[in-house]
Amino acid sequence: MTTPVTPDPPASAPLLDLQALVVSVRRRRRLWGSTALLGLLLGATVAVLLPPPPTAVAKVLVAHQQDQPNDPGTLIRTDAALLHTTRIAGAALRSLESPEKPEDFLADYEGRGLTNNLLQITVTGDSDAQAVARAGALADAFVADHVRRMREAADAEARSLLDQRERLREELDQVNEAIGDESDGSPPQGGAQDSASMESLFARRAELTSRITDFGQRAAEARVGTPRLVAATQIVDAPRVVRHSLPGTAGTNAAIGLVLGLALGLAVAAVASVVADRPVLRRDVAANLGASVIAELPRRPARLWRRRRSRAARARLTTSLARTVRGSTEPVSLLELGCARGASLIALDLARFLAREEPVVVIDGLPGSRLSGHRREPGDPPVTGTEQAHAIPGTLAGPHPGGGLPAPAEPAAAGGEPVPAGGRRLGVGSVAPGTAWADLRYLGTRTVLVVRAGHGSAAWLHTVARQLADLRIAVIGVVLTDPDPRDRTDGTLWDGPHTALRGGSEPAARRNGGGTSHAVQAAGEGPRRAERLPTPAARVPDSDQEAR
């Protein structure tokens, strides 16, 4: 006796599937690769077409009265800001006798603090000589302005101290007069009281004398310290021309452009992938179409060292599809989405393979001449259009009880050849936007979808699945072209319809003796169809999947 286990509730879908996003961005490598290359070329072009102007640089050692070992660089940043003022720019222009406006000159230079006391001045000009002259004049103007400000500050401090000393001297004179009045020889009146008053006057005079001396010393030190600061403020690196290397500048600009272009391209690719919502992974394509992925084929032409592998993959796909079509009592079609050329090649390979055993007619329902325009080889099966297919008796009524087509009146094929009577039909059509859905049943009541990964949106894949279900066209499986080589997801729907080559529905149809398969009858039964499906453990793996 087994205890029933309550299944866990399905986890909610994430808002953003990072794996699908990474794959989508990687598939758009042409976009972000192009933007990166464009950024690289633009950076190199700017370096060549817009070379930097002649530039001169000078370094000034700046001494501050408030220098502290733990200064975070506030004083030197203040000096750099003062350098970028119209007063210093005007002084430099006056020394150069230049008619240029100080406001315009401010855009031609900049100051940057290298350390707490080292200021670097960078100046541009029309020529190397002009740039050097501007840098020298600007450095001299800044040093003169800094020295003047230090002297004015020292003089202001000294004057303030001297003014304080003069006020104390006046108060000292008043105290001396009071002492003189007390000791002018007049007879004492109070005794002990007069003695205490004299002591306080003498103490006040001593205090005032000490403070006067202190203010005098501080005023002298304020003026004495200024020459030391003035001597320390000087130009330590004379103005010199900065040499620019064109290859180095071009390489730097190209690298910056490459990084910016790559970042922009990746951002655009990521946003476009999220907005477009085009399934790329096997599991997403299978989930949106409601059918399992039974095979994969590269869309782009294989390289020289991979052509043998590509031919082997096409041969395996042809064998697998031929086994499925051969065992089907209903006409089978190939419906493409985003890979009309690939679907036409698969159809021709499959028709040639089946033509070895029985007559085959290919019904071309593709737009344009993608199938009929292929170069014909001797012995290729005939290709007819949907107009001739409509004329074949029994097209909508189902296949002939013998497994082939009813004997038509031999309508002409596209190449002028008669359609063989009693042959097998193989339809090729499209489910791209603008499809005439009513014509799809003329191509076949069972179909294999040939879908290019990342071509159709999730909404359109749902539309295709819904339209095919309404038309009672059973989907055998999905052939995914141009898959991502790093995709490791499973494209099998274990809880989906049993038309995905996992046991098949054709044997059941033969046992029932009907002309229409059980899969087609169950297409409109809704969710109850899954209740009659065998469990995945009871299904026997198809040999096609093992070969794949």
SS (H, E, C) 405-466: CCCCCCCECCCCCECCCCCEEEEEEECCCCCCHHHHHHHCCEEEEEEECCCCCHHHHHHHHH
The answer to whether the Cα torsion of 214, 219, 222, 226 is positive or negative is negative
335-386 confidence digits (pLDDT tens): 999 888 888 888 888 888 888 888 888 888 887 766 666 666 666 777 776 6
pLDDT score recorded for residue 267: 94
What values do phi and psi take at 483, rounded to 5?
Answer: -75, 160
Predicted confidence at residue 90, as pLDDT, reads: 94
Classify burial at 191, counting beta carbons within 10 Å of its beta carbon; exposed 0-12, middle 13-18, buried 19 or more: exposed
Task: Please report which residue ranges of 437-533 form alpha helices under DSSP H.
Answer: 440-443, 458-470, 506-512, 518-521, 528-531
pLDDT greater than 50 at residue 490: yes
What confidence tier does 266 reach under pLDDT thresholds 50, 70, 90? very high
pLDDT of res. 542: 41
Report pLDDT for 405: 38
Determine what percent of the chain is predicted with pLDDT higher than 90: 29
541 vs 356, residue with greater confidence: 356
> Which percentage of the chain shows pLDDT scores above 70?
73
Q: Which pLDDT does position 389 carry in this prediction?
A: 53
Residue 94 pLDDT greater than 50, yes or no: yes
Give the integer Cα–Cα distance in Å for 539 and 353: 28
User: Phi-psi category of 80—alpha, beta or left, where left has phi over 0 and alpha has psi -120 to 50?
Assistant: alpha
**Statement: residue 539 has pLDDT above 70:** no
- Confidence class of residue 236 from pLDDT cuts 50, 70 and 90? very high
Give the pLDDT mean for 211-240. 81
Q: What is the pLDDT of residue 507?
A: 43
In angstroms, what CA-CA distances link 496 with 33, 509, 534?
39, 19, 11
Tell me the pLDDT band of 546, cut-offs 50, 70 and 90. very low
CA distances from 508 to 32, 148, 503, 535 (A): 51, 106, 10, 16
Q: What's the sign of the alpha-carbon dihedral 493, 499, 502, 503?
A: positive
Q: Give the best-scoring range by mean pLDDT among 19-28, 258-267, 307-316.
A: 258-267
Confidence band of 61 (pLDDT split at 50, 70, 90): very high
* Residue 193 pLDDT level (bands cut at 50, 70, 90): low
Query: How high is the pLDDT of residue 434?
Result: 86
Map residue 489 onto helix, strand or coil. coil
Q: Could you give the CA distance from residue 385 to residue 361 in angstroms, rounded to a whole number?
A: 10
Q: Both tokens of residue 468?
A: 């095919």
pLDDT tens by residue, 31-42 = 999 999 999 999
Q: Taking the CA atoms of 20, 22, 23 and 29 in sequence, report the sign of the dihedral they define.
A: positive
Q: What is the pLDDT of residues 1-11, one digit of tens each?
A: 444 444 444 44
Residue 281 CA neighbour count, 13 Å, CB half: 18
Number of residues that this document lists for the chain:
548
DSSP tally for the chain: helices H, then strands E: 18, 11
For residue 324 the two structure tokens come to 């499925």
What's the whole-number mean pLDDT along residues 238-265?
92
Give the Å distances, CA to CA, from 478 to 124, 294, 445, 493.
Answer: 67, 6, 15, 11
Is the pLDDT at 496 greater than 80, yes or no? Answer: no
Mean pLDDT of the chain, nearest integer? 77
Mean pLDDT of 68-78: 85
* Model-wide pTM > 0.75: no
| pLDDT tens digits, 396-430 | 434 433 333 333 333 444 443 444 555 688 889 99
With 60 as the cut, is the pLDDT of residue 55 above it? Answer: yes
**More confident call, 192 vs 241:** 241
Cα 325 to Cα 329: distance, rounded to the nearest angstrom: 8
Does 198 or 86 have the greater pLDDT score? 86
Residue type, 482: D
pLDDT at 517: 37
What pLDDT shows up at residue 104?
93
pLDDT band at 301 (very low <50, low <70, confident <90, very high): low
* Residue 254, pLDDT score: 94
Q: Using 50, 70 and 90 to split pLDDT, how confident is the model at 27? A: confident
Q: In whole angstroms, what is the distance from residue 289 CA to residue 499 CA?
A: 12
If you average pLDDT over residues 121-127, what whole number do you get? 93
**What average pLDDT score do residues 9-25 get?**
71
Can you name the residues that pair with 60 across neighbouring β-strands?
A: 119, 235
Statement: residue 223 has pLDDT above 50: yes
The pLDDT confidence band at residue 302, using thresholds 50, 70 and 90, is low
Phi, psi of 365 (to 5 degrees): -115, 15
pLDDT band at 537 (very low <50, low <70, confident <90, very high): very low
Instruction: At 38, list the tokens.
Output: 């464009």
- For residue 194, name the pLDDT band (cuts at 50, 70, 90): low
Task: Give the separation between CA 498 and CA 13, rounded to whole angstroms.
Answer: 25
For residue 44, the model assigns a pLDDT of 92
Got the DSSP string for 133-161?
HHHHHHHHHHHHHHHHHHHHHHHHHHHHH
